[in-house]
């Protein structure tokens, strides 16, 4: 099966939200229609939609769906009920800061909109749509800045990535895979190496799927092969996404990212994090304050219907790890590529 159209995992269509069901890829390309806020919360929690920016967009629409469900014309009562919708959505995925950023933006516009409940609902839909379109433009800008940050060599590059930070993880185009797409379109890329990304295999299932759709050569490797490939000279740069970045540049991404950064530093390979500025949580000073989601251990011992481990074994299933800032060459945002320590200075200049 080949699907050559641009990939947009979250689409507002016919008064509801269409989500690509990412749990069914790559075998089945299908959509789930969401028209209730509780269903959106479940879709986020069960990873029908995943990737920090895409979760943020989905949550924004979830806030509007919740607003639409509130049966009152009293403004104060409406806002109280809307806070409950926000709490339900916040409880779905604790690590991805874009979720909280989008919900906060939606709540802010609800409180600041003057007029009737219907007026507030209308502005909330417009805001969710704006978050959606802004994210696509953000990813395109990340791709452009990533081109400048990548090693400037006469030979074409091979890039290793982990998990999926492509169009499926955003409103479209992608962050880490957006850099890959830009490098490919400019003739600077020869191949992508995609870690399979245990336990949910987002690299093998999703990143590889996206690359195949666009004709970008992709080689899938197991997570344990990355350092070997670096030693063999097969990797020129590592580009990954992020679900939350602390003010000092410590970056949380899918479990397995941290050891890639260690291996990259040992082999003198640049290690880049690509993420929108909204992924930076300036309220936390370092990565020790980032909450790490733990998921159902069944993800480890089951693949499809097959059980992989003996009865009686115990499991630990953190979904993310934190890469220290000193292992990161640069963080590529829509505003440019920054050394991790430069993020806070840039944010303060923006505020002032």
Location of structure tokens 């939200």: 17
The answer to whether 316 and 307 are in contact (CB under 8 A) is no
How open is the CA angle 111-115-116, to the nearest 5 degrees? 95
In 3D space, the residue among 211, 318, 337, 204 whose CA is nearest the CA of residue 258 turns out to be 318
Is residue 169 a contact partner of residue 52, using CB atoms and an 8 Å limit? yes
Is the dihedral angle over the CA atoms 153, 268, 145, 219 positive or is it negative?
Answer: positive
243 annotated active-site: yes
CA dihedral 47, 105, 181, 318 (to 10 degrees): -40
Q: Are 349 and 157 in contact (CB under 8 A)?
A: no
Of 243, 250, 281, 321, which one is the catalytic site residue?
A: 243
Q: Phi/psi class of residue 182: alpha, beta or left (left: φ > 0; alpha: ψ in -120 to 50)? A: alpha
CA distances (Å), origin 254, targets 131, 225, 317: 24, 17, 11
Q: Which two tokens stand for residue 165?
A: 């930070």
CB 29, CB 213: distance < 8 Å:
no
Beta-sheet pairing, 330-333 with 336-338: antiparallel
Taking the C-alpha atoms of residue 245 and residue 346, their distance in angstroms, rounded to an integer, is 14
Report the candidate in 134, 138, 71, 65 with the shortest Cα–Cα distance to residue 103. Answer: 65
Characterize the bridge pairing of strands 189-195 and 157-161.
parallel
In angstroms, the CA 166 to CA 183 distance is: 14
Q: Is 35 in contact with 69 (CB distance < 8 Å)?
A: no
Nearest in space to 55 (alpha carbons), one of 164, 179, 161: 164
Annotated catalytic residues are 243
């Amino acid at each position: 099966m080949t699907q050559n159209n641009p990939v947009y995992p979250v689409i507002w269509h016919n008064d509801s939200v269409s989500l690509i069901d990412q749990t069914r890829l790559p075998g089945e390309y299908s959509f789930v229609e969401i028209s209730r806020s509780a269903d959106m919360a479940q879709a986020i929690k069960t990873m029908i939609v995943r990737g920090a920016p895409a979760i943020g967009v989905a949550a924004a629409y979830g806030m509007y769906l919740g607003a639409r469900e509130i049966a009152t014309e009293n403004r104060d009562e409406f806002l109280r009920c809307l806070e409950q919708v926000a709490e339900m959505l916040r409880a779905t995925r604790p690590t991805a800061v874009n979720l909280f950023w989008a919900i906060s933006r939606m709540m802010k516009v609800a409180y600041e909109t003057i007029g009737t409940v219907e007026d507030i609902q209308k502005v909330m839909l417009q805001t969710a749509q704006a978050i959606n379109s802004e994210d696509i433009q953000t990813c395109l800008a990340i791709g452009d800045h990533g081109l400048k940050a990548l090693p400037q060599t006469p030979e074409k590059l091979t890039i290793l990535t982990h998990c999926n930070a492509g169009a499926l993880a955003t409103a479209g185009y992608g962050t880490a895979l957006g850099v890959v797409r830009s490098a490919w379109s400019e003739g600077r890329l020869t191949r992508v190496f995609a870690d399979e990304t245990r336990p949910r295999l987002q690299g093998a299932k999703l990143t590889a799927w996206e690359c195949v759709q666009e004709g970008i050569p992709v080689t899938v490797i197991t997570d344990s092969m990355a350092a070997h490939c670096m030693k063999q000279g097969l990797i020129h740069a590592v580009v990954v996404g992020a679900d939350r970045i602390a003010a000092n540049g410590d970056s949380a991404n899918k479990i397995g990212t941290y050891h890639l950064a260690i291996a990259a530093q040992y082999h003198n390979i640049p290690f880049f994090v690509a993420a929108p500025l909204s992924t930076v949580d300036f309220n936390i000073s370092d990565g020790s304050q980032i909450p790490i989601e733990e998921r159902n251990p069944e993800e480890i011992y089951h693949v499809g219907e097959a059980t992989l481990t003996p009865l009686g074994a115990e499991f630990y299933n953190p979904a993310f790890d934190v890469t220290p800032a000193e292992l990161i060459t640069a963080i590529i945002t829509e505003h440019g590529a920054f050394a991790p320590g430069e993020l806070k200075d840039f944010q303060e200049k923006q505020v002032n």
